[in-house]
Chain A
Amino acid sequence: MPVRLTGSPGHRIIVENISFTGIPAGERESGGKRMKITGAEAMVKCLENEGVSVVFGYPGATICPFYDRLSHSPIRHVLVRHEQNAGHAASGYARISGKVGVCAATSGPGALNLITALATAYMDSIPLVAITGQVQSDLLGRDVFQEADITGAAEPFTKHSFLIKDVTELPRIFKEAFYIASTGRPGPVLIDIPIDIQQAEFDFSYPAGVSIRGYKPSTKGHVVQMKRVVDAITHSERPVICAGGGVIAAGAKRELREYAEKCGIPVVSTMMGIGVLPSGHPLYLGMLGTYGTSAANLAIGEADLLIIIGARVGDRAVATPGMLSQRTQVIHIDIDPAEIGKNMGTAIPLVGDAKQILTQLYDMTPGTDFSQWLLQARQWREEVSFDLGERKGYINPRAFIRSLSAALPDDAVIVSDVGQNQIWTANHCNVRPGGRFFTTGGMGTMGYAIPAAVGAKFADPGRMVVAVCGDGAFQMQMMELATVCQENLNLKIILMKNGQLGMIRELQKKQYKGNYMAVGLDGGPDYGKIAGAYGIRAAGIREQSQAGEAIEEMLSHDGPYLLQCLVRPDEPSL
């Protein structure tokens, strides 16, 4: 029974629910007769109809009717230790399963805690449905206990949001929410449901389809534009493909590889696009941008044609889009028309789904020969050099990520947090065919890696999942060790411990004359003991020579594991 914290007329309705819900679901539906069910039960049925198998959440008073009915469903609920992490876990789940991730929270602070996760998912175009409880609908706007205007507050960070005020609209709204989250450019959708709507009874039936007059995403490329693209490619001498997260979201990795191979065009990726081609693929030049490889940036700089696919041209990837578009012809392919021309002038815009467009382009493009250019690109790739040298008494994080990557199974999932650990991991993890790297790309949200890895583990429990984070972000998410233990997840956590907010320290060194302010993490706990307190096995290394054995021990251990790598406080990102 929901705990009501506001004395209200709603009490009577709850009492009716209890007597009603005593009847097993099967009996009520027998004979194909439509029977009245509560909004809460309808919410669960909607999720079942959408094929949802897991909900990440944190209960509270106003979402209790839903939790009560969820307990009777085969849908699994995972209790996180902070609502933000429910959103991140749903994000990790969505990224590995390719399905919509679902998270739930209560009204007020519970819902507000979700916002950072919604914004993180929105920036990276991750399909989520977030369900929040809300105070009784007739009390909305009166500032009652745990009331917050969450649809209003989350508006800039969601693809769409609903506040349900009539229980009969609940099935349509759920259907639309899943449709909007997963189609076009994916993104988070919020459904806010007052407690009285969850308790109200109505005749339930789930709609077969949706028709939203203001939402008709186009997926097929415009033929005239496609011809212009093909023409530009065949007339270019030094084309480069820049692939982003949109290629992965569209499930178009194979199509991208086949197209690049057919035309012989070198490929660079954004951080969100890492893994579009296996890291060792002969056409792949690495990640571009401020923290990218010299090969990728040289190729972009020298190209006469830039083919951007599923990427936003964010400032971290392309710092000076204006200069670049002046000297290079730009083709921009994206599912979201608003991204084309937003950050960079585009000669040939092409709106559509990356998978469909690459398939169509493959058939339309004649054989091309860019072998001279490719030779140059490969030479740049050969010349990429990183400092992999030994550190006395410390781990070189680049070398460590390389060793880790080599020891992981091909299909492993590596999730990085944000900060220097993200750059080390992005540049040095070796994503092999079937493998996956992902991170918080656009928002750069500290505390993402562990909850997202939890979600990834639920999406594919048999797969090796490794979270990499620094000691700054670890302290923003270490409460999730409890979730890892409660669910007995075989999750591996790498903690790059430099006792610093390393990336900000680096920034202060370069731009603020070394005036280090508030970046020292003195006072941090013994992380091995923290892990131990949760019953999680832990180890720590400070010499590169220890890495191989430590990684071996971590991977062979059947259960969660925390491996600390001591890193020099002034170790740079690149």
Chain B
Amino acid sequence: MKHTISVLVENHSGVLSRISGLFSRRGFNIDSLAVGVTEDPSISRMTIVVDGNDYTVEQVEKQLNKLIDVIKVRTIPSEELVTRELVLVKVQVETSQRSEVMDLVKIMGGKIIDISRTTLTIEMTDTTAQIALLEDLLSPYRVVEVARTGLIAVQKGAVTIHKK
């Protein structure tokens, strides 16, 4: 089962390696990990998607909390989360196929952000499921490059990671 864990950490060098090292040596599997600075420039926020049972998630949380650089750890149930991921897909298309690909992208709520004689580059920001759907729809074409950011998430409503 997938769990989304939000972690606030000190924004300095070495923190990412501490966290990734912890995951590898304790044998936790990460599906994705996204990092960026927060509203407080001294704090970074990591969103980690972990695959595992309740025991694993409890251990991940506890072991993360032991790291001095970790300020806060929160696992929020998926139904209480709004999540987004950004994907860039480069597709090789014949001129004749362009408009049908553009139609697909439009239906999916994506954008064409770059074009060449032989390729289209598509940007889409959405949930992991929608991005998977886009990739599926594009699979009949020649996808030559994919870059994804990994999932980021915040809790729905007025609650924040800082206060319940």
Binding site for B on A (CB under 8 A): 151-152, 155-156, 159-160, 163, 180, 212-215, 336-338, 341-342
Contacts and interface: CB of A to CB of B under 8 A. Distances in A.
A192 B70 CA distance: 21
A214 B62 contact: no
10 contacts: A155-B18, A156-B21, A160-B67, A160-B68, A214-B10, A214-B67, A214-B69, A214-B71, A337-B62, A338-B63
B66 interface: yes
A338 B62 contact: yes
B27 interface: no
B93 to A, nearest CB: 43
B25 interface: yes
A76 to B, nearest CB: 30
Nearest to A185: B66
Interface string B35-68: 0000000000000000000010011001101111
A152 B17 contact: yes
A213 B70 CA distance: 8
Contacts of B157: none
Contacts of A180: 68
Interface residues of B, number: 19
A338 B66 contact: yes
Contacts of A152: 14, 17
Contacts of A214: 9-10, 67-71
B148 to A, nearest CB: 28
A469 B21 CA distance: 35
Contacts of B14: 151-152, 163
Contacts of B17: 152, 155
B21 A155 contact: yes
A342 B55 CA distance: 8
Interface string B52-92: 00010011001101111111000000000000000000000
A143 B106 CA distance: 52
Nearest to A176: B68
Nearest to B70: A214
B68 A337 contact: no
Contacts of A337: 62, 65
Contacts of B70: 214
Contact of A341 (B9, B58, B71): B58
A362 B84 CA distance: 52
Nearest to B55: A341
Contacts of B67: 160, 214
B66 A156 contact: no
A191 to B, nearest CB: 13
A155 B9 CA distance: 17
B66 A336 contact: yes
A338 to B, nearest CB: 4
Contacts of A341: 55, 58-59
B162 to A, nearest CB: 12
Contact of A213 (B25, B62, B66, B71): B71
Contacts of A342: 59, 62
Contacts of B9: 214
A337 B17 CA distance: 23
Contacts of B68: 159-160, 180, 212, 214-215
A156 B71 CA distance: 19
